[in-house]
Chains A and B, each alone.
Chain A
Amino acid sequence: MSLGARVGAAATAPLRALAAALDPAMRGWQRLAGRGGMIGLFLLPNLAIFTIFVLVPIGLNVAYSMTGGAQVFLADRPFVGGEQYARLLECENHLRPRTCRDDTFWTAVWNTARFVVLQVGLMTGAALVTALILNRSLPAKGFWRAVFFFPVLLSPVVVGLIWRWILQRQGLANLVMVEGGLEPVNWLVDRFWAFAAAVGVSVWAHLGFYALILLAGLQAIPKDLYEAAEMDGTRPWRVFRRITLPLLTPNLAVVVVLALIRAVQIFDEAYVLTGGGPGTATMFLTQYIYETGFASPVRNPGLAAAASILMAGVLVVLTLLRLSRQRRAAQR
C-alpha cells in the first residue's frame, strides 16, 4: 500500500468506524421503512433546520398576526382573529391611501410598488449596459470591474450615510452646485428628489452584483456565433438582439427575480438616507413593518406581523408568476 493510501486510510478510519457502528441500525431501518424511509432519514437533518429556522418562525408570525396589544410574548397577547388584516385592508379606495383606515400602510405599499418598477427597470438596464461595456477589451479591465463591484462590498448603512452626507442641505452635492453657480437643491426634503435619490442610491449600491451575473452570462456565449455574424456582415444592434439578448435571457431572468425580491424588501439604505421622508414619500413596506412592530412608541407587533404576511404573499405571487413564465418559455 502506498504512503498516500495509508494516510487516506488513517484519516478516514474514524468515519469508517462510525459507519460500521451505524450500519446495523441503518440496515434495520431500511428493512423496516424501505427506500422511501431511507430518503426521509437522510433528509431529516436539513428538514429539522428548515423547520426550526423557517417554518416555525412563519407559524409564529401568522400566530402573532392574529393577536392584539403591545405585549411581546405570544402567550400574553389576546387573540383578535383577522382584526389586524381588516385594519390593514379597510379602505374606501385602495388607490388613494389617505382614504384607508391605516393610510401609512397603503402609502408604503404604493411607494414600494413605484420603487420596485423604477428600481428593477433601471437596475436591469444599467447592469446590462455595464456588463456589455466591461465585456469589451478595455484597458485596465480588472480595475473597472472592481470599481463597479466595490459598492456591493459596502454595508447598506454606510451607503446610506455616505449619500446622506452628499445630498443633505449643506452637503457635498450642494457645495459643488453652488461653486458651479447653480442654486442649491434640498434633495432629501423634496418629495421628487428624495424618491429619486432612494432609487438611484439603491441602483448604485447593487449594480455591480447584477452586472457580474450578466458578465458571466456574456462570457459563456460561444465566440464562434459572433465570428459567424461578423463574417455575414451583421450590424451590431442586430447581433445584440439576435444573439446576445436571447442567450443572455436565463441570466437576465435571474437578475430580474433577485432584483425584484431585493427591491420589495428595500429598507436599510433608504431608511438611513431619508428616514422615510419627506413626510412619507420614501416610506417603504419594510420600514412600515419595522416601525409598527419595533421602533414606534406605539408598538403593535400583531399589525406588523399581518403586514409582513401580506408582503410575503405578494413576493410569493411575483416569484410564481416569474417561474411560470420561465417554464412556459422553456417549453416553447
Chain B
Amino acid sequence: MTRIWTAIAAVTMGTALGSAALAGDVRIMWYSDGNEGEVMEDLVARFRADHPEINLTLENVAYQVIKEQLPIQLAAGEGPDIARITDLKKEAPHFLDLTPYLRDPDYWRENFGAQLDWMRPDRTDIIPGFMTQLTLTGGFANATLFEQAGVPLPGPEATWDEWVEAAARVAESQQLEAAIAIDRSGHRITGPMISEGAKLIGEDGMPAPLDDAARGFLTKLIGWTEDGRNLRDVWVSAAGATYRPAADEFINATVPYYYAGSWQVANLSATVGDAFDWVATGSPCGVAGCTGIPGGAALVAIRSTPNPEEVATVMEWFAQEDIVREFSERTLFLPAHKAVVEKGGLDFQTDDENARAALNAFVAATGQLTEEAQRIPAWTPASDVYAALAKRLGEAMAGELSTEDALARIDSDIAEAMTAAAQ
C-alpha cells in the first residue's frame, strides 16, 4: 500500500513540476513593428551562450496580443517573466521592482532614469525595466508623389491645415484615394490636439473635459474625413477602441501623407524600398506648438515571475550599453540609454537614405515637445482618454453621431472610466 501511495505522490509531483516554470526558466513576450524580433532572436542566442544556466525563451506575438491578452494575464497573476509593453502606466502595478536583484541599480537610474516614471506606479521609485526604444509621433510624406504633382513639401512650421491642403492637391493631381491617413488611435491625435493648445490634464491630474482647442481639432478631423481628405477606411472600418494602423495605405501610395510615429521608420525602410522617396516631417504645427507625443516600448519584468534573480540577470544583460547601442543601430530605433545618446555616433545599419534622414528628423522633433506632451507618457488616465477618442471619433466619422454628440460622449465615456477606475 505504501508503494502505491509513493507512486501516486511521485506522479503528482512530476505533473506539478512539469507544468510549472522551472528554476532558471525565463520567458520574454515580445512583439515587433519592424525587424526587432529578428535582432532579438540573435541577441537571445548570444545571451544563452553567455548564461547557459538560464533557459531564456523568446515568444514572438502580435501587438494585438500585447494590447488585449497580456493585460488579462497580468491581472490574473499569470503571463511571461518579461514583456515588451507600450501601455506602461496602466500595467505598472504588475511590474516587478528589480532594485534588490540588480548589481548596480544606480546604472539604471543614471541611464534610464528619465523614463522610469513612465513605467512606475504613481508615487513609487521602483526600477521595473527600461525603454527598448523612444518613440515620437510624427508624419511621413511621399516626396515622390509631391514632386510628381508639382506641390512643394510644406516647411517645418507648416500647420495641420497647410499639410492637409497640400496633400489634398497631391491626391487630386495623382488621383489618390485620400490626402492623409492617421492611425486609428487616440494616442496619434493627442499630439495634434496639444499643438492646437488643448489641455487634457486637469489641475487635479485627472482628465479635463475637452476644451475649445481639443474640440476645434477633433471637429476639423471629422470634417476632413467627411469630405474625403482623411482616409475614411482606417477609422470607420472598426468599432470601439480597436487599433488600426494606416501604414499599408502609405506604403501602397494610397495617400501622400501619413501620421504615425518614429517606430514606422524601419517598417517603411523595409517595405517601401526604392518604390518612392519618403520623408519624416515632424508634427504639423498648431497655435501652441508642433508637438508629437513621446513614448515607446519598454522591456519590463513581471511581478508574478517565480525567478526574479534570473529575470534580473536577463534584464541586466539586455540593458548593457553596448547591447542597447547595437539593438538601436540594427533596428533603427531611437535609444533611451543616456550614455548611448550622449556619446552619439550611432551607426544606423541601413543603406536607405530616407530612413537615415527620417531618424534625424525625429531626433530634431524631440526639441519641439511641449510641456503638456511630455507629461502624457507618465499620466495614468491617458489610455482611457485614447480609448474614448478612438471609439467616438470612429462613430462620428461613420456618420452615426454628430460631431457635438461625439464630443459630449468622449467626455462622458472618460468620466465613466474614471468612476470605474476609482472603484
Contact surface of A with B, Cβ cutoff 8 Å: 68-73, 78, 80, 98, 103-104, 169-170, 186, 188-189, 191, 274-283, 287, 291, 294-300
- Decide: B420 and A275 in contact? CB cutoff 8 A: no
For A279, give its contact among B71, B90, B394, B405 (CB under 8 Å).
Answer: B394
For A275, give its contact among B68, B76, B238 (CB under 8 Å).
Answer: B238
Distance from B111 Cβ to chain A, minimum over Cβ atoms (Å): 30
A-B contact list, 22 entries, CB within 8 Å? A71-B75, A72-B72, A72-B76, A73-B76, A78-B423, A98-B405, A189-B237, A274-B237, A274-B238, A276-B238, A276-B240, A277-B237, A277-B398, A278-B237, A279-B236, A279-B398, A280-B239, A281-B400, A296-B387, A297-B383, A297-B387, A298-B420
Contact A297/B400 with A277-B237, A277-B238 known, Cβ cut-off 8 Å: no
For A164, give the chain B residue with the smallest CB separation: B237
Residues 164-215 (chain B) with a chain A CB within 8 angstroms: 177
| Set of chain B residues within 8 Å of A296, measured between Cβ atoms | 240-241, 387
Distance from B380 Cβ to chain A, minimum over Cβ atoms (Å): 12
Most B CB within 10 A of own CB, among A186, A188, A282, A296: A296
- Decide: B72 and A278 in contact? CB cutoff 8 A: no
Q: Once bound together, how far apart are the Cα atoms of A48 and B420, in whole Å?
A: 36
Q: Once bound together, how far apart are the Cα atoms of A70 and B74, in whole Å?
A: 12
Residues 394-423 (chain B) with a chain A CB within 8 angstroms: 394-395, 397-401, 405, 409, 413, 417, 420-421, 423
Contact A287/B239 with A70-B420, A280-B400, A297-B387 known, Cβ cut-off 8 Å: yes
- Decide: B398 and A278 in contact? CB cutoff 8 A: yes
B366 adjacent to chain A (CB < 8 Å): no
Contact A295/B423 with A72-B75, A72-B76, A280-B400 known, Cβ cut-off 8 Å: no
* Total residue contacts A-B, CB cutoff 8 A: 105
Q: Once bound together, how far apart are the Cα atoms of A191 and B232, in whole Å?
A: 13
| Set of chain A residues within 8 Å of B177, measured between Cβ atoms | 169
Q: Once bound together, how far apart are the Cα atoms of A80 and B67, in whole Å?
A: 28
Q: Once bound together, how far apart are the Cα atoms of A103 and B72, in whole Å?
A: 25
- Decide: B240 and A283 in contact? CB cutoff 8 A: yes
Label chain A's interface by main secondary structure: loop
Label chain B's interface by main secondary structure: helix
For B384, give its contact among A69, A73, A98, A298 (CB under 8 Å).
Answer: A298
For B236, give its contact among A73, A98, A278 (CB under 8 Å).
Answer: A278
B310 adjacent to chain A (CB < 8 Å): no
- Decide: A169 and B233 in contact? CB cutoff 8 A: yes
- Decide: A277 and B387 in contact? CB cutoff 8 A: no
Q: 3 nearest interchain CB pairs?
A: A279-B398, A276-B239, A275-B238
Distance from A279 Cβ to chain B, minimum over Cβ atoms (Å): 3
| Set of chain B residues within 8 Å of A170, measured between Cβ atoms | 252
Task: Taking A72-B72, A279-B395 as given, write out 12 further A-B residue pairs in contact, using a Cβ cutoff of 8 Å, ordered by the A residue number.
Answer: A69-B421, A70-B75, A169-B177, A170-B252, A275-B237, A279-B400, A280-B239, A280-B395, A282-B239, A291-B240, A298-B384, A298-B420
Q: Once bound together, how far apart are the Cα atoms of A310 and B185, in whole Å?
A: 31
Q: Once bound together, how far apart are the Cα atoms of A276 and B398, in whole Å?
A: 12
Residues 299-348 (chain B) with a chain A CB within 8 angstroms: none
- Decide: A69 and B236 in contact? CB cutoff 8 A: no
Most B CB within 10 A of own CB, among A68, A295, A297, A300: A297
Distance from A47 Cβ to chain B, minimum over Cβ atoms (Å): 26
For A69, give its contact among B71, B242, B401, B423 (CB under 8 Å).
Answer: B423
| Set of chain B residues within 8 Å of A279, measured between Cβ atoms | 236, 239, 394-395, 397-400
Q: Once bound together, how far apart are the Cα atoms of A123 and B67, in whole Å?
A: 36
Q: Once bound together, how far apart are the Cα atoms of A279 and B399, in whole Å?
A: 8
For B420, give its contact among A191, A277, A281, A300 (CB under 8 Å).
Answer: A300
| Set of chain A residues within 8 Å of B81, measured between Cβ atoms | none
- Decide: A297 and B87 in contact? CB cutoff 8 A: yes
B386 adjacent to chain A (CB < 8 Å): yes
